[in-house]
Amino acid sequence: MKKTIITMLIALVAIFASAETYNYLKFTKTNGTTVTYSVEGLKLTYDNTNVTITNVDGTATLTLAEVQDMYFSNEAGGSTYELGDVNGDGLVNVGDVTTLIAYILGNDVDTFIAEAANCDGDSQAVLNVSDVTALIHYVLTQEW
């Protein structure tokens, strides 16, 4: 019994020690994309369907059913955005289509993540109606 407790204590110390050195919390989603969040000011809250990530950069929501893996990392790597999440709220939906169209038309938008907006994947990262078409297709089919 004593040995078990000591082992658990060592494990706990190891978890705390390692958590301190990681800079990012990453989620791998079932569609293959990885989203990365800074651990600075990190707070996670769960309800039955969503996990809400709050940190110094703001708040994002992921659907738990879409989360395949969650881990800490020192590598910013991957992306700090999700393709199609143009308005950066953690979801890819019609709100992103609206934001992208508004941006292309030259209207003011609150949050616009240009890297997430190049939905057709052209190498010049030009943002135009082709990206809107690709984004609408994704929202409707969940496939790029």
Residues at the interface with Ca ion (CB under 5 A):
85, 87, 89, 91, 96, 118, 120, 122, 126, 131
| Nearer to Ca ion (CB atom), residue 7 or residue 59 | 59
| Nearer to Ca ion (CB atom), residue 20 or residue 108 | 108
Q: Least CB distance from residue 80 to Ca ion, whole Å?
A: 14
Angle of helix 94-104 versus helix 129-141 axis, rounded to 10:
180
| Nearer to Ca ion (CB atom), residue 15 or residue 126 | 126
Q: Least CB distance from residue 128 to Ca ion, whole Å?
A: 6
Q: Least CB distance from residue 122 to Ca ion, whole Å?
A: 4
HSE-up (13 A, CA, CB side) for residue 54? 4
Q: Which two tokens stand for residue 108?
A: 């003011």
The H or E element containing residue 45 is strand 43-46
